[in-house]
Amino acid sequence: MKKFATLFTIAAAATVLVSCGDNGASKKLTVGFSQIGAESDWRKASTTSIQEEAAKRDINLIFSDAQQKQENQIKAIDSFIAQGVDVISFSPVVSSGFEDILKKAKAAGIPVILFDRTVDVSEDGLYQCYIGSDFVEEGRRAANWIVENVGEEAGIAELVGTVGSAPATDRAKGFREVLEKHPGLKIVKSQSGDFTRSQGKEVMEQFLKSPEKDQIKVLFAHNDDMALGAIQAIEEAGKKPGKDIIIISIDGVKEMFKAILAGKANCTVECNPMIGGQLFDIAQKMMNKEEFPARVPSQEGVFDSKSITQEVVDGRKY
Ligand code: AHR
């Protein structure tokens, strides 16, 4: 029993304390995190996961909200470097344009963990780990659900995420990869709704007034928030979402589960935002100079009316 208690104490201490200073005292792990903003329920859940895990582990978290702007993310990372944090992490709003600031972090010797989204860089070693989903696979899963549940013939409208972001690029790629093998499934409209509910609604309104409106049998939205906005637009146009237009999106937030249970939407491919714990596990390993994986994938499922019950909705945390 005593042995277990001792082991636990050592393990618990190792989760929050980093290397000793000159006087032998341990210091708290400091992580600088730049979040994109609060564009979706998914993003809000991601922020909660990061902040709750940091508090639980007594980690000094310097959290910065970029309000959807890349320039704010670059400024935040620059300030994390100036403050000499132990680890930098961020969810990049778009994939390109981070190379110079990542080179600066590397020159300062501060390790970087990409969280949720990846970046495009031309040299290795500018970040040490990526924790998050396989967005290409999410796009494939959405398309496969359509093939299995709608059939081989349908016009599809696509609500794209933030232009230039990894999830928008990769979900579109995975979706088209599957569709190429099913020529009767055609994308008849495609436009960005920037991952927000308000823009999802606006763009869907335009789709429903376009010359292609009668061809739209399926809506594929790159996230649940845009799909939830589109549901409103479809209802306001006098149509039945989930029936007149089949709706599939990505994320798996509680509001979408409710829409599926109510028959107003049909499927959501899960993208897991609750990965704050994995972030600090890796940050801690970096500080302890332990081995860590370069890629930490998220575990995710696909939900539709066959799997969503009231109990599932009630149990959903975000
Ligand atoms: O990067 C993950 C995506 O960003 C989620 O699908 C979306 O809801 C969020 O805004």
Index of the ligand 1 atom closest to the CA of residue 250: 6
Residues with CB under 6 A from ligand 1: 39-40, 42-43, 116-117, 167, 195, 223, 225, 250-251, 271
| Residue 143, pLDDT score | 98
**Strand pairing report for 185-192 and 154-160:** parallel
pLDDT grade for 21, boundaries at 50, 70 and 90: very low
| Residue 23, pLDDT score | 53
| Residue 27, pLDDT score | 77
Handedness of CA 251, 253, 257, 258 (dihedral sign): negative
pTM: predicted TM-score of the whole model, two decimal places: 0.92
**Residue 99 resides in a domain:** yes
Q: What is the mean pLDDT of residues 211-218?
A: 98
Which among 34, 43, 44, 226 is the best mutation to test ligand 1's pocket, defined by most ligand atoms within 8 Å of the CB? 43
Q: What is the CATH number for 212?
A: 3.40.50.2300
**Residue 304 resides in a domain:** no
Q: 160: domain range? A: 135-271
294-315 pLDDT, tens digit each: 999 998 999 999 999 999 999 9
> In angstroms, what is the span from residue 222 Cα to ligand 1's centroid?
8
162-198 pLDDT, tens digit each: 999 999 999 999 999 999 999 999 999 999 999 999 9
Which among 34, 91, 251, 256 is the best mutation to test ligand 1's pocket, defined by most ligand atoms within 8 Å of the CB? 251
**Residue 305 resides in a domain:** no
215-267 pLDDT, tens digit each: 999 999 999 999 999 999 999 999 999 999 999 999 999 999 999 999 999 99
Name every residue whose Cβ is closer than 8 Å to that of residue 167 and which is 6 or more positions away in sequence. Answer: 117, 133, 135, 138, 161, 222, 223, 250, 271
**Residue 246 resides in a domain:** yes
| Residue 25, pLDDT score | 55
> In angstroms, what is the span from residue 167 Cα to ligand 1's centroid?
7
**Residue 306 resides in a domain:** no
The torsion angles phi and psi of 113, rounded to 5 degrees, stand at -115, 120
| Residue 6, pLDDT score | 27
Better pLDDT: 8 or 18: 18
Which DSSP helix (H) or strand (E) runs through 5? helix 2-16
**Residue 67 resides in a domain:** yes
